[in-house]
A = this chain, B = another copy of it.
Amino acid sequence: MAIKVSIDASGGDCGIPVTVVAGIKALSVFSDLHLVFVGDINNIQAELDKNSDAQKFTDRFSITHASETVAMNESPSIALRKKKDSSMRVAINLVKEGTVDACVSAGNTGALMAISRFVLKTIKGIDRPAIMGRMPTMNGHTHMLDLGANVDSKPEALLEFAVMGSIAVKYTDNITSPTIGLLNIGEEEMKGNENIKKTSELLKASNLNYTGFVEGDDIYKGTVDLVVCDGFEGNVALKASEGVASMMGHYLKKSFNKNIFTKIIALVATPVLKDFKASLDPGKYNGASLLGLRGIVIKSHGGAGVDSFFQAIKEAYLEVNAKIIKKIESQVALELEATKS
């Protein structure tokens, strides 16, 4: 069966020159993939006309015109209420109508969250969706949620994150029983707080493969397959990590740029530095899932390039293929049932 995905073509820092080209690449990789590019029809057509590969897949993509674009810094509530014909809104509407199975956008996170939640609604038992992303580790990658959609999450909400994340990791990464860690701190008198302790009890009592507390450095050690945390902490960890990585890149460049000798060494070391850069390329892990919605919505980094946006489309493809929405719905229903009894 064909897998159909809508692309918010105008979303992100670069828009159509990235999203459409990445889409054509995805069509060449996944033979059962069908795409709907949503945005200004003339601009999308112009990009397709420039793309020699596009001609091969004309039976597997279409264009849906949208007259507006959500700006990267636009207020989510304005985007939701005033821009009914934005490429983002129309791309999500296509999921709601069942025209496509998933939507991918590199647009404004807050707007994507607000519009997805309004249009698609959340799964019964889930109040707000959570954002799950892949993170590089010393031995591959791990997953983490929530990365910023929910603050002050209660133990019951953190348990739902674990349930949803576990299913997504199980089926997209083919791990029978993903190990789950709860983010905590260890450097003090009484570890964590009441909220964390209660969440840990709930996780222990569940059927999930919960292995206990993890600390910030465990994310990158790859201690577990899934790190569960509140969105405030998740977002702080993610941004701080990006900050450290940039700073280290800055100092590495500085050391190689110091004088004529170090510049020559930089030339010699180019292949090694390229290999190093490739091993940490954040684009490899692009494509965060908005879990908890009644439809698949994948958020790409705003600044994604073609290869990186391709990864986000691939994430959507994997989730559709794994039918994760139905699986999350039935698992959450089971949990709700168990709580009642």
Contact = CB atoms under 8 A, between A and B. Distances in A.
Interface stretch (A15-23, A63-71, A261-269): A261-269
Interface in A309-338: none
A86 to B, nearest CB: 16
A235 B266 contact: no
A81 interface: no
Contacts of A61: none
B236 A255 contact: no
A218 B147 CA distance: 17
Instruction: Report the contact-size class of chain A (Cβ under 8 Å from the partner).
Output: 35 or more
* Of listed A114, A183, A242, A244, residue having the most chain B CB within 10 A: A244
A242 B217 contact: yes
B272 A188 contact: no
Contacts of A188: 109-110, 113, 148-149, 151, 231, 235
A189 interface: yes
A70 to B, nearest CB: 13
A211 to B, nearest CB: 17
Interface in A205-262: 215-221, 229, 231-233, 235-248, 250-252, 254-256, 258, 262
Contacts of A114: 189
Contacts of A279: 251, 254-255
| Oligomer copy total | 2
A247 B138 contact: yes
Nearest to A216: B239
B242 A240 contact: no
A187 interface: yes
Interface string A183-205: 10111110011010000000000
Contact of A148 (B137, B185, B229): B185
Interface string A149-167: 1011000000000000000
A200 to B, nearest CB: 14
B248 A248 contact: yes
B246 A217 contact: yes
A241 B239 contact: no
A187 B220 CA distance: 22
A2 interface: no
Contact of A236 (B76, B148, B189, B237): B237
A232 B273 CA distance: 35
Contact of A245 (B147, B218, B248, B254): B248
A280 interface: yes
A218 B229 CA distance: 21
Contacts of A59: none
A275 B247 contact: no
Given A109-B187, A219-B240, A255-B279, 19 more contacts: A114-B189, A136-B247, A138-B247, A149-B188, A151-B192, A151-B193, A183-B236, A185-B239, A187-B235, A188-B231, A193-B232, A216-B241, A219-B243, A240-B240, A241-B244, A248-B248, A256-B272, A265-B268, A266-B272
9 contacts: A137-B247, A149-B188, A151-B193, A216-B239, A217-B239, A220-B244, A244-B245, A255-B276, A256-B272
